[in-house]
Amino acid sequence: MELRHLRYFTAVAAHGSFQRAAETLHVTPPALSRQVKDLEEELGVTLFVRGKNLITLTDAGDTFYEEACDVLARAAQAIQRVRGAVKAETLRVGFVSSLTAGLLPAAIGKFQLSAPKVKLELSDLNPHEMSQRVAAGGLDLAIMPAGLETATPHFVWSELVHLAAVLILPRTHAMAKLKKIPPARLRGCQLRGLGRTNFPEYAPRLRTILKPFGLSPRFTDQSADSVASLFAALEANHEVVVLTEGIAEALPPTLVMRPFAPALAASVIKVGLPAVRPNPHAETFAQILREGVNRIRRKT
């Protein structure tokens, strides 16, 4: 006897008809009738009184119906408990490495100390991939730039940190000698940008923060599909790029970071969790991230 036999039997009993039960189960009436007949033969009893227009339960069928419903209910509960346990012990985190390099490693370490049995699944994604993964229900927690969260209405977003805009350039670049970069120095620079496909928000955001200074970015190239390939291009072509201070710990030794003076508008980074039944471990991780931000603020 299998669970499907019980499902077939209870469906026929509930509908009082093989035809209607077959429609709800998406099987043919003859196939359903055979399955119920097999069940009766296995039990050695007749479960139904089969009339022309109505099918009713026998006394044995009535007793078995209660038991079958109870078995199916307990099976469904067991499945939900197992699925819930697996989900609760796995935390799927999506992040943008260029924004979280200075914050995420410490948060991961602290979380693993507090919940050593929880498996962390970390996904380094560009904002476009992040939106897709969130929409598909593939993440328990996401960290991404503000402005992109509107595409994920089933997530609840809160502000995590403001990241200052900075200039990344080769250590041998002439402007690397400056402690702070006047925005006007970007005029005429060999300015490289992140790729349009993976980072569609990059160029519009840069135009917005440069506009108050009468500047408009002119890119020599916007084909970099990752931060790593961007860094390699900066070194090879002696170019510069505007990113956020969150990238600091990911910089190779051949590149340096310089703040702007006067400062460009900061980027707001948000953390998001599902609006309905968030993973409890995600809430813990989000709180650890916020505590990390507060510690950094106290040091500055």
What CATH number did the domain enclosing 203 receive? 3.40.190.10
Could you tell me if 240 and 273 lie in one domain?
no
Q: Say if residue 227 is in the same domain as residue 282.
A: no
Regarding whether 283 and 249 lie in a shared domain, the answer is: no
Q: What is the dihedral of CA 203, 209, 214, 219, to 10 degrees?
A: -20
pLDDT digits (tens, 9 = 90+) for 84-139: 655 558 899 998 876 776 678 888 988 999 888 899 999 988 777 888 888 888 99
- Residues 241 and 230: beta-carbon distance below 8 Å: yes
What pTM value is reported for the model? 0.61
Both tokens assigned to 67: 């038991």
Q: Is the pLDDT of residue 232 over 70?
A: yes
Residues 52, 182: one domain?
no
Both 112 and 250 in one domain: the answer is no
Instruction: State the residue range of the domain holding 250.
Output: 165-259
190, 222: one domain: yes
Q: Are 256 and 231 in contact (CB under 8 A)?
A: no
Q: Do 281 and 146 lie in a common domain?
A: yes
Contacts of 48 (CB under 8 A, 6+ apart): 12, 13, 36, 40, 55, 56, 57, 58, 61
Q: State whether 158 and 169 are in the same domain.
A: no
Give the model confidence (pLDDT) of 64-88 as tens digits.
888 888 888 888 777 777 766 555 5
- The predicted-structure confidence for 45-57, as pLDDT tens digits, reads as follows 898 888 777 788 8
Q: How far apart are CA 236 and CA 28, in angstroms?
A: 67
**Sequence-distant (≥ 6) Cβ neighbours of residue 14 within 8 angstroms:** 21
Considering the domain architecture, whether residues 210 and 74 belong to the same structural domain is answered as: no
Residues 173 and 205 in one domain: yes
Task: Identify the pLDDT of residue 285.
Answer: 92
User: 15 with 141, same domain?
Assistant: no
| 185 and 42 part of one domain | no
